[in-house]
Each structure stands twice: as C-alpha cells, then as structure tokens.
Structure 1
Amino acid sequence: MNEFTINSFEEYLRIVSDDIGVTDQKGQRKRRYFRGQTKRAFEGYDLKPSIGRYAHLNSLPPAERDRLENEVLETFSNHLLTYVNHLPRNDWEALAIAQHHGLPTRFMDWTTNPLVALYFACRDSKKDKAGNPHDSAVYVLISEPPRFSELRRQQKNGAASAEEPESAAPVSGDDDGYDDFGLDESGEPLVLADDELETATATRPRTQPEPTKEGELSPFDISGNVIYDPPHVSPRIRAQDGVLLACHQPMQPLEEKDVLELVISQAAHDDIRRRLDQYGVFDKQLFPDLDGIAKWLKYRVFKINGMT
C-alpha cells in the first residue's frame, strides 16, 4: 500500500490537491473517495465493511451468509416505515438506511470531501495500551469502481437496445462526484415529500421495500465493488457528502492496490482539529442535530478551553 505521511493541515491540502490526482492534466476534477479512520489498517482495523468484522461469519459458506444478510434486512425492513419518512424502493436503499442506523451491512462509508475524511481521522486521537498516541489515516480509493447509477443506466439501455451489448460494461466516468448525488436518472430527488409518501403507501402495504426485481442489479449479486450514492434519508448524509461502497466480498479487506494511505501524524492532530473548526468542518456542521451541537460545545468549551 502506497502511503504519504502528513504532518500539517497545509501538507494534507497540498497532497489531496496535487499529489494523488484529484485533477487530471487538463485541470478537470477526477472523482476520488476518502475514508478517515482513527486507527490505521495495519493496526487491526482493516478496510472492510462492518459485517466483515464478525469473524464467526467466515465459517459460513457464502450462500449462507447472503441468506443471513437477506433475512436480517427483511426483518429490519418490516419495522422501517414506522420510523422514517423515506420509502425505500429496493434493497440498495433499504441497506443504506440500515447502514446509517448502525446495522452491520456490506456497505462501507466513504465521502467525496477530503476534509470530512480528515475530520473522522483526527476527531478523537487514540492511544495504545501503553498510553502512546496513535497515528491515524485517511484512505483514498484509487481503483475507480463503477457507480450504481451508471450500471443501472447501462442495464436499462441494454434492455432497450439489444444491438448495443457494450453498454452493459462498467464505466467509471470522469465527471464530478457531486453531480448526481442523491438523484435518480431523471434528476429528481430520491426522498419523497409527505404527500408523495402518502400516495405511495396508499397503493402498497406499509411493510417493507419492494424486493429488487428479477434482472435488476442486486447488492447481494454484484461481481465487483460498486459505489452507491445514497438518498438523503438523513441531514448527516448530505452534510458529510457521504457515499457507500458496496463490497462484493464483504468478509475480505480491500486490496492494497485499490487504496492510497495518508498517514496523519498524531503530533499534528490538535492543530488539524483547530484548522478544521476554522473551516467549518466540525461536529455541529457534520452532525446537524442536537448530538452534533453537544459534541461541538464539549470540544470548544471543555477540551480546548474555548481556543480555536
């Protein structure tokens, strides 16, 4: 795994802007995804989805694990619409909501915003058993997996025009990673308004999302990792520029060739936290609720004594 060591906020900005190819030679923005971790992967916090952290699942055959995931999702979905105002339309949206609320899934949280990833890497400095502080890390996904919206569009085009089989091949694209975040192919928001929700629920039971239709791409049947732009079921997803990586081998960590590691020196954590606060990348912005405000006040008043 290639890596850089970051010793300052300015150095981080320079590296993500210049050294990792966020823009191409013509100055056009390339899509990059970032993930911040308070512990580095080699320290035992592998780059794998939350369901992959349950070692006993490794003893199950893949088909049995898939069956278990589907059963858990079905149970979750049976309770879902009692608590949320968003009507999931398929397993992708249902899994995204489950991930957001802490259920172990085959999705991994990433962001298109490198400062958000830096926040998660430095928010809480960790120490080892001897009390020595840990370096943290931001990981950059450099393998450019296809996006669900692209695959779905290609699938529809392929069904409409059998004479163009090449349209079914994954295309990574090079447009801005923000351009269709939270949008379907028509450009309409995925989150339903209250009146739309009432109309939708009047025509079908309020139990669970429609299963993925036969022939449609399922998160349980993908043959490679896929980027999924989740609907804005929570203000946190929008605030954090969140995306999800659907992992086709959820029990296995990402391959080293797929990521770049930016090691954030623990000695720089305090200054980076202050700089992020100055840039508006902190608790009350990324967690736009009472929890975020409380965390922000705790940090500003009690941890740094009002200093920024």
Structure 2
Amino acid sequence: MSTPFEIECFEEYLTTVRNELPDGRKYFRGQTKLFSAGYALKPSIGRYGHLLDKSFAERDSLEREVLDVFTNHLVAHVQHLPRNKWEALAIAQHHGLPTRFMDWTTNPLVALYFAVRETKTDDEDNPMNSAVYVLISDPPRYTDLTRDQHQAVRPVKDLATTPARGESGYEEYGVDRLDSEEHEEASVEPTEGADSEELNDPAASPLQAPSPFEITENVVYHPPHISPRLRAQDSVLLACQKPFDALEDRDCIEIVIRHAAHDDIRRRLDQYGVFDRQLFPDLDGIAKWLRYRVFESKGEL
C-alpha cells in the first residue's frame, strides 16, 4: 500500500485532508497499527485464522447461525427489534461480536482520534506510528440497493365514488369545493411483470436489498442510531463481500501519523471537543476522559 503522506503535526493532517485527497465521497478509519505492521484492513471476523480451515459454505453457515443466536437474545435487551439482517448485524458489531462489517467514519477527526488515542509499542517496546486510512474506491451504499425498488405510484381518477348532492360535501365546514380534475386519488401501479397479489403482500415482495451475506461487492451501510456513540462518531459500516480478505491497495490511501506527534494531537483533539467524553457519551467515556486528563497527561480538570 502506498504511503504518500506522513503527518508530523495536527495542522499538517488538517491540510492533507482538506487539500491533498482526491475528490469524491470519502470514509476514514483510524488504526493504532499500520497495515505494514501486520494489522490488515479486514473485518473482525476475518482476523480469526482458524476459520480459514473451513470451507466457504461452512464459514457462511457459521456467520448466519451466530447472528441467529444473537438475534434471539435481543428481545430482552432492546426496545426495538431489528427490521432486517443489516440492522441485526450492525447491533452485533456495535456490541463486539465479530462480523463482516468494518467500522469507518465520515469524520476525519474521529478517525484521527482512534489512530492516536493510544500509542502502541513493538516487541522491543519502541513506540509505533499509527495511520488513518481513507477509503477512496467509492463502493455502493445500502440506500443505492433500495432506492429504485419502491412500487410505482401514479395519480388516477377515483371512479368508485361520486360527490354527495353533486358537491364535495365540504361546504358545511367552510372549506372550498375541491376541483375533482386537479385533486385525484393516488393508486399503486404494479411494476411490469410483477404479480399484483405479491405487491400487496409486503412479506412476499421481492423489492428488497440482498442480505449482507449475499452481496456481490462491498457495500457502505449507514446504521440506525442504536447508540449515542454511533451518532457522535459519525459511524459508517463497510459490509465486506469477502470478509477474510484484506481490502486491496487501490481501495485506500494511507496517512501515517508519526508517533512523536501523538501527544500533541491528543491535546489538540481534546481542545476541539473530539475526545473520549464526546465520542463515548456515557460513563465509559467520562471515565476514559478523566483517566487521560488527570493520570495520562497530568493535566487539570
């Protein structure tokens, strides 16, 4: 993977994101370890090497069964059940279950936070550089799979009813008579070749996106805000068609963050409100923020 940028300070990162990245939709992912240091860009489930001993069918079956078991336990823990496997898998990912989803964000400062929040060390206890990866391949979004699949709707005249007493019936309420030629009822028009009974039955309708286990390419999924963390972190999930393979080099740009800059970048992010208590708006975030302010940076409250 090419590394065109090595960042030495906070301002250099801002300039790089603003001026040096290609045009188009971009997603960011911060990692405390570099791709070259052995931390490949792949989903969490793809990091379990022993699963590679299984056949594709066995791995696929395992993913589905694990999600089914997880979903069966959701009833006692959530207020709203997921509407499909995409939402169920997003909830599972959020709670730490290994899935074929990868965490990304639309906010480059959030990605920078995850890259520098903790400075890792190598086997000889030397501090290591981190990185922000920019997804530039522009995969389709989940909404692209469903946007054009709604049933067609067209206005038609209502021939089943006639106005009472030759009028609209609204006069006694002080409402002007509606022009029947301009205010017509809407009716569902079956799509060409579709069975009308099937369109009337939502459970039988074929107009839906494939499940995350049936996609033919990587897909960007904006999950519902099941947690304040997802909203605070501008979270985006990348559903990977081949979860045991790393993303290709052409899919991403690597922005290396030099370890010597980590401390200063952490302080700057804290000043700009992109730190623990903002990105984790719960007790865990408050505890992490206090730990950083008081014990790690030896600062003041």
TM-score for the superposition, normalised by structure 2: 0.80
**Change in 2 beyond 3 A, CA 1:47/1:95:** same
Which string of whole-angstrom CA distances, capped at 9 and with x for unpartnered residues, describes residues 196-223 of structure 1? xxxxxxxxxxxxxx9x979641100101
Kept in 2, the 8 Å contact 1:109–1:242? The answer is: yes
Looking at structure 2, the residues matched to 86 and 107 of structure 1 have their Cα atoms a distance apart, in angstroms, of 21
* 1:222 and 2:223 matched: no
Match of 2:64 in 1: 70
Larger radius of gyration: 2
- Once the two structures are superposed, the pairs formed by residues 283-294 of structure 1 within 5 Å of their partners are 283-294=276-287
**Change in 2 beyond 3 A, CA 1:145/1:162:** farther
Kept in 1, the 8 Å contact 2:145–2:209? The answer is: no
- Once the two structures are superposed, the pairs formed by residues 1-308 of structure 1 within 5 Å of their partners are 1-3=1-3, 4-21=5-22, 24=23, 30-156=24-150, 161=191, 216-306=209-299
User: Aligned residues: percent identity?
Assistant: 64
Kept in 2, the 8 Å contact 1:34–1:138? The answer is: yes
User: 2:73 aligns to what SS in structure 1?
Assistant: helix
Looking at structure 1, the residues matched to 112 and 191 of structure 2 have their Cα atoms a distance apart, in angstroms, of 44
Q: How many residues align?
A: 255
Kept in 2, the 8 Å contact 1:239–1:286? The answer is: yes
CA deviation after TM superposition for structure 1 residue 156, in Å: 3.8
User: 1:221 aligns to what SS in structure 2?
Assistant: coil
CA deviation after TM superposition for structure 1 residue 160, in Å: 6.4
CA deviation after TM superposition for structure 1 residue 157, in Å: 6.7
**Change in 2 beyond 3 A, CA 1:137/1:307:** farther
**Change in 2 beyond 3 A, CA 1:215/1:270:** closer
**Change in 2 beyond 3 A, CA 1:146/1:160:** farther
**Change in 2 beyond 3 A, CA 1:157/1:82:** same
**Change in 2 beyond 3 A, CA 1:213/1:286:** farther
Kept in 1, the 8 Å contact 2:67–2:89? The answer is: yes
Which string of whole-angstrom CA distances, capped at 9 and with x for unpartnered residues, describes residues 52-94 of structure 1? 0010111212121111100000000000121112320000000
User: 1:154 aligns to what SS in structure 2?
Assistant: helix
For residue 13 of structure 1, what is the amino acid of its counterpart? L
For residue 51 of structure 2, what is the amino acid of its counterpart? L
Looking at structure 2, the residues matched to 156 and 61 of structure 1 have their Cα atoms a distance apart, in angstroms, of 37
Kept in 2, the 8 Å contact 1:86–1:233? The answer is: no
For residue 227 of structure 1, what is the amino acid of its counterpart? V
For residue 296 of structure 2, what is the amino acid of its counterpart? K
Looking at structure 1, the residues matched to 18 and 126 of structure 2 have their Cα atoms a distance apart, in angstroms, of 31
**Change in 2 beyond 3 A, CA 1:249/1:157:** farther
User: 2:76 aligns to what SS in structure 1?
Assistant: coil
Looking at structure 2, the residues matched to 36 and 256 of structure 1 have their Cα atoms a distance apart, in angstroms, of 16
CA deviation after TM superposition for structure 1 residue 121, in Å: 0.2
Match of 1:204 in 2: none
User: 1:81 aligns to what SS in structure 2?
Assistant: helix
Looking at structure 2, the residues matched to 15 and 251 of structure 1 have their Cα atoms a distance apart, in angstroms, of 31
Query: CA RMSD for the aligned pairs?
Result: 2.2
Looking at structure 2, the residues matched to 36 and 215 of structure 1 have their Cα atoms a distance apart, in angstroms, of 32
**Change in 2 beyond 3 A, CA 1:157/1:214:** closer
Kept in 1, the 8 Å contact 2:102–2:237? The answer is: yes
Structure 1 unaligned spans of 5+: 25-29, 164-209
